[in-house]
Amino acid sequence: MHGYGTYAIAHRHLLDEARSMAPDVEWSIILPTSHHLDVLREVLPVERILCLEHEQSRAHPILSNLSELGGYGGNIHADIEVEKKVFKHRPAEQQLARAIETYRIYKDFLTRMKATHVLLGHVETFDGKVLISLAKELGMAAIVPTDLRNIGGSTFSADEQERLPDYRKARPETLEQARQFLARFRSNPSPASNPDQFAVPGETPLPIYRKSFAQRVRGFVSRTLRNPSLFEPALFKISLQYAFPRIRETVRGVRALRNGRTFDLGSIEQVPNRFIYYPLQTTPESSINTPAPYFIDQLRAIDAIRFAMPSDCTLVVKEHRASIGIRPLSFYRLLRRKAGVQIAHFSVPSLELIQRAQLTVSVTGTATLEAFLLGRPSLTLGGCFIADYLGGVCPLGEIRERIAQAIRHPPADEVVVKALAEVFSVRYECIFRSADEPGFYGNRPENIRRMLSAVLEHISRLDAFDEGINGKPVRDAFVNSLREKPPAAGSL
């Protein structure tokens, strides 16, 4: 397991459940930092825990021969770009040297543990991406939880691109489930995030082992003295912001007030007759950094769309509410100087823009899924689970043709229903969230049990699918029974 952030706490509770639900499975965990090391030592032997910061060299590593990356399962340069803050201020050669050091440390640990599967909580850092690349290189299965957004629940992907599992299949029961969901969504669209949907009434969240401010300060000082080369000014700045939230929110509030006055379209009635809708995503953020680092600078996406769209179209851009107080005013001023672009006020309803637009385009945003569910044309420029149903991720070299094709051929209802049926066939009724997320919905006993059951079922269904591909009968009855009872550990 990869214990990024407070996902490590959820993993710790998952290990408690595994003692009875999967007693024969051997577990180990990688912790990027020592924040939760003591908590994990309560449930795992020391030799099955790797703390990255304890293994990293005190001196800045020196970039050596790149030949050892010959079998690397991804692109290490793109994987480095996943990072939002850590070592991004450093010289390029030093970034690469640190990345290769992490690659070596993780590869050695996975090999020693003889791991067959890697379970991630959330892929938001380079060391998360390197685990996916190592899984490909070493022939292991990566298990990446994927939030199904408006549909609710989770599925699992083999990498950061959110591709649905190969064992997905529309069945009579999931087709009916899809029809019912689509009817409900079109009459009353469900939100993109609804983490309380699986909450058990009255259930108390599990401990999150939150440390006091004094403990966090002592931990920071201890880690810095232990390895000064790992000190990151950007992370220190963020820590200060979260230590004094009132100051942070005041600054963001002032910025939001200023940014909110920069727009061209104040209401839905003011939008052009023909337009393409591009909803901005928060950046830097894992939703773009991880699957599509090329578009961390979203001006690249905006330019690609406006250069490829019909000349009688306008590109309507709308800010994400979470970014109103974060993005600099200069960004919006630059947008307003781009021919063919108009900014909609952030209060203009996104669903109404989707309904009126000739096309909705996003890198990985939820708006493309919502457009698909509403039977409206949409395109994705980065990896997300809906992309395969929209013709796949759109390469920049094909964007002109794909825009024209999407506008001419909006998704038919039967196509939407079949796609939803396939999604429901691989959907699990749980959520994978950081343990300290507001509401603590991911860190409750029933959700933890469902998480573990879902992971075990996913592995068994992968095995069953592989057997079917290799000419052996797929164990449908066995796989279906997993929904009633988690698979025994021996079945892994």
**Which secondary structure element, helix H or strand E, spans residue 16, and what is its range?**
helix 7-21
Residues near 438 by beta carbon (within 8 Å), at least 6 away in sequence: none
User: Which residues lie closer than 8 Å to 458 by C-beta, 6 or more apart?
Assistant: 143, 156, 165, 428
pLDDT at 408 over 70: yes
- Residue 481 pLDDT exceeds 50: no
The average pLDDT across 49-74 equals 89
Nearest to 463 by CA among 21, 141, 17: 141
363 token code pair: 């890198």
Closest CA relative to residue 383, chosen from 395, 375, 372: 395
Query: According to the model, what pLDDT value does residue 253 have?
Result: 83
Phi/psi for 428 (5° steps) reads -120, 140
Report DSSP letters for 85-105, one per residue: STTTTS-HHHHHHHHHHHHHH
pLDDT in tens, 235-290: 667 666 666 777 777 877 888 888 888 899 999 999 999 999 999 998 878 889 89
- Locate 360 and state its tokens: 């909705």
Return d(Cα 127, Cα 32) in angstroms, integer: 8
CB 119 within 8 A of CB 143: yes
Whole-angstrom distance, CA of residue 336 vs CA of residue 344: 11
pLDDT in tens, 419-454: 999 999 999 999 999 999 989 999 999 999 999 999
128 Cβ contact list (under 8 Å, min separation 6)? 2, 4, 82, 120, 122, 290
> Model confidence over 381-394: pLDDT tens digits?
999 999 999 999 99
Beta strands in 80-222 (DSSP E): 117-119, 141-147, 154-157
pLDDT for the residue 236: 67
The yes-or-no verdict on residue 217 having pLDDT over 80 is: no
What value does the CA radius of gyration of the chain take, rounded to a whole number of Å?
23
Is 431 strand, coil or helix?
coil
Q: What is the pLDDT of residue 486?
A: 42
DSSP 447-483: HHHHHHHHHHHHHHHHHHHHHHHTTSPP-HHHHHHTT
Cβ atoms 382, 295 nearer than 8 A: yes
Q: Tell me the per-residue pLDDT of 109-153, one tens digit each, with 9 for 90 and over.
A: 999 999 999 999 989 899 999 999 999 999 999 999 999 999 999
Residue 241: CB atoms within 10 Å: 14
> Tens of pLDDT along 469-479?
655 544 443 33
- DSSP string for residues in 211-249: PPHHHHHHHHHHHHHH-GGG--HHHHHHHHHHHSHHHHH
User: What's the pLDDT score for residue 311?
Assistant: 96
Residue-wise pLDDT for 152-186, tens only, equals: 999 999 999 999 999 999 999 999 999 999 999 99
Other Cβ atoms less than 10 A from the Cβ of 192: the count is 15
Mean pLDDT throughout 88-92?
Answer: 85
pLDDT of residue 303 exceeding 60, the answer is: yes
Distance CA 316, CA 309 (A): 12
pLDDT above 70: residue 378: yes
In this model, does residue 455 exceed pLDDT 70? yes
Please check the confidence at residue 327 and state whether its pLDDT lies above 90: no
Give the pLDDT band of residue 88 (cuts 50, 70, 90). Answer: confident
State the sign of the Cα–Cα–Cα–Cα dihedral 474, 475, 477, 480: negative
User: Taking 50 as the threshold, does the pLDDT of residue 350 lie above it?
Assistant: yes
What are the tokens at 172? Answer: 């009579």
pLDDT of 337: 95
Domain 268-424 is of which CATH architecture?
Answer: 3-Layer(aba) Sandwich (3.40)
Which pLDDT belongs to residue 477?
A: 39
Alpha-carbon distance of 74 to 131, in angstroms, equals 10
Distance between first and last Cα of the chain = 16
Range of lowest pLDDT (137-146, 219-228, 370-379):
219-228
Position 469 scores a pLDDT of 66
Do β-strands 154-157 and 141-147 pair in parallel, antiparallel, or remain unpaired? antiparallel
Concatenated DSSP letters of 25-73: ----EEESSSTTHHHHHTTS-GGGEEEHHHHS-SSPPPP--GGGGTT-S
Paired residues of 119 in beta bridges: 143
Residue 284: asked if its preceding bond is cis (omega within 30°), the reply is: yes
- Comparing 313 with 487, the larger pLDDT belongs to 313
Banded model confidence at residue 14, pLDDT cuts 50, 70, 90: very high
Tell me what pLDDT residue 482 has.
Answer: 38
User: Which SS3 state, helix, strand or coil, does residue 329 take?
Assistant: helix
Confidence of residue 483 (pLDDT cuts 50, 70, 90): very low
Between CA 326 and CA 307 the distance in angstroms is 27
pLDDT tens for 195-214 read 888 889 889 999 999 888 78
Give CA–CA dist 434/233, Å, rounded: 24
- Could you state, in order of their start, the residue ranges of all structural domains in the chain? 7-167+428-491, 222-259, 268-424
In a 13 Å sphere around the CA of 468, the CA atoms on its Cβ side amount to 12
User: Strand, coil or helix: what is 407?
Assistant: helix
Share of the chain above pLDDT 90, in %: 71
Q: What residues contact residue 365 under an 8 Å CB cut-off, 6+ apart?
A: 279, 281, 287, 384
Tokens of residue 251, six digits: 């600054």
